[in-house]
Structure 1
Amino acid sequence: MISSHMSSFAGMPVVPFTPGMTLPDDPSAVAWRLEVEDFEADPAEFAGLVTALRAEVPGDAVRALVIGEWGSAYERAAPVDLLADAAKEWTGLRAVFLADLVSEQCEISWLTHGDLTPLLTAYPELEVLWVRGANELSLDPVRHTGLRELGLQTGGLPGSVTRAVGDCDLPALRRLDLWLGQQNYGGDTTVGDLAPILAGDRLPALRHLAVCNAEYADRVAGAVATAPVVSRLEVLDLSMGVLTDPGAEALLAGQPLTHLRRLDLHHHFLSEETQRRLVAALPGVDVDLGNPQTPSQYSGRVYRFTAVGE
């Protein structure tokens, strides 16, 4: 569950934009937050907010945007078109976060999006793109030479989106975060869908890979254990999912991981013995084994859950 809004983004403090406000001394040193108060606001209200930002803040000073509630986010697609339309003015825009909404506003699996492709094509120098939610999300494979960081935070990541990411040509991308989520919430990504990403052919600069929040984390770990991309990583993140001892055994039996700076496995279902073996096998690696989970039992059945679902 996501319970708080971001206070910083892209290395800058987040500042809510209000029409007519007194601007900071350096308006390019903040990440501007755009959000309407009414969760069922008319689309014209958010459009007016974008218009005011374009009129009141110098275009080249808009370096980062955080998009909050745009009105009926549970059924109306994020306003990518409004952002794309401003591309000729926002020549300095380098970072965008779509849908920084908390659970009280809208559950992550309900957040509705459309096609992300126009945003990437409109901003060829965009460096950071994070998206929360994946309901109706789509993406066409593109070549983008500017993007350095891409994150998809979801309660269920569609396989079509994962395949599109794998088919993109992203030569500058250093960080990729994929929250796979649960099948009940649209997460039908398979290990096969991840294959092009794990091969790394189109991701020569990748150094931080997160394939996390997965119901089938053991199978992901098995694929990662022999994945070519791993040898060039500094950070490997398989956290937030249903990782059990067989998944950890696959990691231990696979390719060496001692070159990693960090291995993030927090929120896991590993035995204490397996945890000790992981730490012993990876001297010098920051192995995060925090937030261990205990399976739930109900009517004789055992249940394990990802950290983020609904």
Structure 2
Amino acid sequence: MANLTRKILGIPFKNPIIIPSGPGGFGQEINRSLLSKIGAFTIKSITLEPKEGNPPPRLVDAGYGLINSIGLQNPGIKMFLSTIYPKLCPFPTKLFFSIAGNSPREFREMAAVLNGIEGFELLELNLSCPNVKDASTLLGADPEPVAEILKQVKEVFTTRPVSVKLPPEMPDLPSVIKACENNGADALTLFNCITGARFDITTGKPFLKRVYGGYSGPAVKPIYLRKIYLARQLTKLPIIGMGGAYEWEDIFEYLLAGADLVGFGLRTMVDLTEVAELPEKAQKWLFNHGYNTLSEYLQSVRREEIK
């Protein structure tokens, strides 16, 4: 079958499929043989101090997607590194470490600790969680805090690449991307969930305690493909694209839009076994259409675009 390997930021990936931060938790309860079939796995975002998360209900069905309001529940970086992380390593595929915070100081403190921790290939800065009341909701939409956080992180984290996870809703995408480029970002994770809400017509109240949460699912795919395409016109940084990817065909669509890796979030929550089967389906399609490698396919179709 066709070869799906990619090399991004000097890191070899067996295929471009990744599991974004959140849907797979910390990965400790997932079948490791399934994880071994995925290009990379991102742990659920860790904060400096423990977080209890939002009160239930935290999930609501929204037809062609799901609204979640987890609220960054996690044990804090100190407890995570001492109790959970040692059980994860060695991880069966490439591992990305995600951190979230409310200030440049918090990101710097966590990055300094992680600089000497082995076992993961990339540090992701979550500047875009849609499910918390504090400043981390807005950080990624403003070039000034993005720049300052990156400066602080890059001063103390020097051993591996850093990617910035941005929100889909922001007034000035070009300025934020420029802030990432000018302050040492090695990659961009585009994008976190768009915000959404649902209301119970019987009670008249919102389903979620916080009213709104992060909406994800196939319905947002065209919106996110456009956003990723626009971002690709603005930067040459590697893009970890996500938001709406669900079927094997989406691997190709997101790569054609400008992504280098493709995240499958909601599909992971529905059935990780199905996510693990996506690479083989993509390989068969490439082979049946006369391509031996993913790179060969991308070069071919892009040559046709140029013509």
- The TM-score, its normalising length taken from structure 1, stands at 0.35
Higher helix share: 2
